[in-house]
Structure 1
Amino acid sequence: MLVVADGMGGAAAGDLASTVAVRQVARADSHRTGEEMLEVLAGAVSAANDELADLVTWDHSLEGMGTTFCGVMFDGAQLGLVHIGDSRGYMYRDHALERMTHDHSWVQSLVDEGRITESEAAVHPHRSLLLKVLNGQPQHTPDTRLVDVHEGDRLLFCSDGLCGFVPDHVISEILGQESLDDAMALLITEAHAAGGSDNITIVLADVVAQDDALDAVEPKIIGAAAFTAVPEHEVTAPIPVVPDAGPGEARGSARRAGETPLLFDSEAEESMRYAPIDPEHGHRGRAWLLSILGVLVVAAVAFFGVHTYLGDQYYVGDDNGTVAIYQGIPDRLVWVQLSKVTETTDISTSDLPIYYRTKVESTISVDSVDSARATVAELRSGAQRCKALKASPKPSASASPKPSSSASSSSPTTSATSSPTAGSPSASGSSLPKVSEDDCS
């Protein structure tokens, strides 16, 4: 297993987020083959995401933390690659570099749509914005793929402290070095020389013939995950329900046998429902009536609970081409819309900067109606800025690209060099970046 997890949200515990990811996947390290590798590794990443959600619920000051993840399991012939964020995996084979991953970043989406070039992406003012990371949100699912490898292949996994500053053609030239240690030293030197202000984390590995000595090497964890303590916290795991299977031993033996609890047996239910009622045991009818009343009470409590919850939720979104404040959540339950417009504005979404417009169309979650109004004020300022720029157009910026990738195993070399963590705004929240000429079109 080879893994890079680049934490983000410095003040909000990016080091904790990356530690959770690394430790979850380390527990899953085992011998698997083919699709099994993807199932195990993706499952471990999902477990890490769930733990991050639990930590944020337990301590709200951790809201905003997240981590990228780029890692593989190796079965001797293939890599099982799992990736989310803008850390990358590369394969160097026959003097050619292949990017195995695809960045989940704002600028990469602009490149994919043909709106900017790879070179423009490298200097785009919002190049650090990520669209998908591990941050406890269930909709952020990673990419997975199987990659064939051969003896002689060289693998590189890195944070954007390297690939965000050093272009692919330079990385390719350096990976041609015979020694892994020499290649590692040159990659770090190039990242610093390019002005790297972010953490530089690199894993290098050569695919070699099977070797018992290599197989016996202890796994190595470096960086924050090697020393960061994950605080004790409540886990929102489902609580198993054991049916009332009878007194004494029968119930205990069912538990020990590890049988899955039976929550609803339709055949037994129907038999009881249509059984004739013994006049001497009329309490059966009363029991059924009490059961039905209990269900109705639970349904009523649930309804009012949901209604109260939705009343405290707000977001900013699009309302037929204008910006509006909504109360509720932007979802639908069967045929019921779970939100309503509570305040309208005269801000046209077409006047917004590109990034602001995309955020509004995908909805901006806020903590309160006051936060929503503050966000609307930022959007209004952005729209006015764009109108002014359109009235007096200026030349746009130019730039460079961001890669993606996959990995493999055997004789790995690792390095993590830290520098001050640059702020990486997430793709959600109410704090919006400043508007530049590139944003208005």
Structure 2
Amino acid sequence: MSLYLHYSAISDVGRVRRENQDSGYAGPWLLTVCDGVGGAVRGDLASSTAVQALRKLDQRPDEDILGQVAGAVHRADDRIAEIVEEDPGLNGTSTTATVALFDGARFGVGHIGDSRAYLYRRGELRQLTHDHTFVQSLIDEGRITEDQARTHPHRNLILKALDGIRHEEPDLFEFPAEPGDRVFLCSDGACGTLTLERMADILGTGTPDFAAVELVRASLDAGSTDNVTCIVADVSEEPPDDDLVPLLVGAAADLPRRAPIGGGVSGAVGGLFRGHRSGDTGEIAPVPDDVPAGAFVTDPIDAETARYAPLAPDRYTWLRRFLVVATLVGIAWVVLAAGWSWSQQQFYVGESDGRVAIYRGLNADLPGLSLSHPYEVSDVDLSLLSELDAETVREGIEAGSLDEAQATVDNYAARQEAS
């Protein structure tokens, strides 16, 4: 007996991040979530590149289902390597990948990173994948609990990802499907915030569409500061409606991040849960209709009279010039002050005396003027890192925030410990 998938996919930029670095895909044979690693260069490009490569799996697989999953993950990694080779400025980009390939009777799963896959069966929710993170290693050793991991300062430290350089092997396994199963894939914006009990409570109700939307909404209401991507699929003996098409969401969808739900076939929600922006629209107010024509013209005179009329003495010329110069200087000062203030809210990771450091300011200099200074110098020694990692740090790694910069430093600290 062949079974079918009824699925839904939702991706939201969230309430804090400026861009969505998650990508997802749901189709009749394939479910996948990829999350661009925080702190890396262009995580959105890495996740969308991986999903575009993985979505080619969306057809009925042959007997070697795990071989097909592994091959697709490796091809996604190779494609990331190609884009980095084409543009060295992308060096450091990486993404997680969680893939579930369905053949009508079983799922073959491939996993790398900290996105997750769950199985909701007969009222019980079970996590299928194992996180490749620093905090997960602490949980495995019994040093912290799952609840403590949610607030651990190094909870964003990924130990394995697709980056086109290290060519990590994914975890591979398969499990049989049963009618009534509900499979849930998500980025850590959801599972890093919601408890197992809360996810089970939502997954136990409604259609896949309802569950996916409620999981995103619950994640944001619970305080998630990340992008949130949720894919929910039901295993059924009944084929889905003909209007159920494959769904491409998040960065891979190449749609406006704040499109309303239902916009296009992607099903991406963008900023659905942000609410409306308040304030004016920036438009110039129209002139009221009851203002008579010519109301702003006062005492018109004959053109010829004006042409030959004697000019009035030019009084206080020096004062007017002084005021013009003072105004221009004031504007320039305000612009420079605003620019300097903005630059001091920027961070990047670079080298300071042979160590990995977080810099405040811009990764650039003007003649005779430095636009950045060391904000925090870590204990990570460049000489203990690989040549590639050390060169990447020397060139400077842009960060969207101080938290992202600290996550990047933590990543190199873990690599130093592992070396």
1:221 matches 2:248: yes
| CA displacement 1:246-282 (0-9 Å, x = unmatched) | xxxxxxxxxxxxxxxxxxxxxxxxxxxxxxxxxxxxx
| CA displacement 1:77-102 (0-9 Å, x = unmatched) | 10010111100000101110000100
Please give the root-mean-square deviation of Cα atoms over the aligned residues, in Å. 3.6
1:102 matches 2:130: yes
Deviation of 1:201 (Å) = 0.3
1:191 matches 2:212: no
**Which range moves more in the overlay, 173-182 or 8-17?**
8-17
Counterparts of 1:422 and 1:76, CA distance in 2: 43
Deviation of 1:213 (Å) = 4.2
Check 1:50–1:160 CA distance in 2 against 1; reply closer, same or farther (3 A cut): same
Partners of 1:197 and 1:422 within 8 A in 2: no
Deviation of 1:114 (Å) = 1.7
Check 1:209–1:422 CA distance in 2 against 1; reply closer, same or farther (3 A cut): farther
| Counterpart pick for 2:182 among 148, 154, 157 | 154
1:174 matches 2:239: no
Q: Give the letter aligned to residue 192 of structure 2.
A: G
SS at match of 2:111: strand
Aligned residues: 262
Within a 5 Å distance, the mapping from 1:122-271 to structure 2 comes to 122-211=150-239, 213=241, 217-227=244-254
Check 1:212–1:180 CA distance in 2 against 1; reply closer, same or farther (3 A cut): closer
TM-score by length of 1: 0.53
Q: Give the letter aligned to residue 55 of structure 2.
A: A
- Which runs of no fewer than 5 residues in structure 2 stay unpaired? 1-29, 256-353, 356-377, 395-399
More helix by share: 1
1:18 matches 2:47: yes
Counterparts of 2:401 and 2:94, CA distance in 1: 17
Partners of 1:198 and 1:420 within 8 A in 2: no
| Counterpart pick for 1:6 among 35, 38, 55 | 35
1:31 matches 2:12: no
Check 1:115–1:11 CA distance in 2 against 1; reply closer, same or farther (3 A cut): closer
Partner of 2:303: none
Counterparts of 2:47 and 2:205, CA distance in 1: 30
Counterparts of 2:111 and 2:34, CA distance in 1: 10
Partners of 1:89 and 1:157 within 8 A in 2: yes
1:65 matches 2:46: no
Deviation of 1:369 (Å) = 8.1
Counterparts of 2:389 and 2:60, CA distance in 1: 49
Q: Give the letter aligned to residue 126 of structure 1.
A: H
Deviation of 1:184 (Å) = 2.4
SS at match of 1:221: strand
Counterparts of 1:183 and 1:76, CA distance in 2: 22
| Counterpart pick for 2:386 among 361, 365, 369 | 365
- Which runs of no fewer than 5 residues in structure 1 stay unpaired? 229-323, 326-354, 374-418, 434-438
Counterparts of 1:18 and 1:364, CA distance in 2: 25
Partner of 2:404: 423
Deviation of 1:371 (Å) = 9.0
Q: Give the letter aligned to residue 124 of structure 1.
A: H
Partners of 1:23 and 1:225 within 8 A in 2: yes
Check 1:421–1:219 CA distance in 2 against 1; reply closer, same or farther (3 A cut): farther
Counterparts of 2:209 and 2:108, CA distance in 1: 25
Within a 5 Å distance, the mapping from 1:311-330 to structure 2 comes to none
| CA displacement 1:201-222 (0-9 Å, x = unmatched) | 00011111142745x8432211
SS at match of 1:67: coil
Identity of matched residues, %:
39
Check 1:363–1:89 CA distance in 2 against 1; reply closer, same or farther (3 A cut): farther
SS at match of 2:211: helix
SS at match of 2:183: strand
Q: Give the letter aligned to residue 423 of structure 1.
A: E
Within a 5 Å distance, the mapping from 1:367-382 to structure 2 comes to none
Counterparts of 1:116 and 1:142, CA distance in 2: 25
TM-score by length of 2: 0.56
Counterparts of 2:226 and 2:166, CA distance in 1: 27
Counterparts of 2:219 and 2:91, CA distance in 1: 30
Deviation of 1:366 (Å) = 4.7
Check 1:219–1:427 CA distance in 2 against 1; reply closer, same or farther (3 A cut): farther
Q: Which of structures 1 and 2 has the larger relative contact order (alpha carbons within 8 angstroms, sep 6+)?
A: 1
Partners of 1:105 and 1:131 within 8 A in 2: yes
Deviation of 1:147 (Å) = 1.1
Counterparts of 2:106 and 2:248, CA distance in 1: 23
Check 1:420–1:191 CA distance in 2 against 1; reply closer, same or farther (3 A cut): farther
SS at match of 1:166: coil
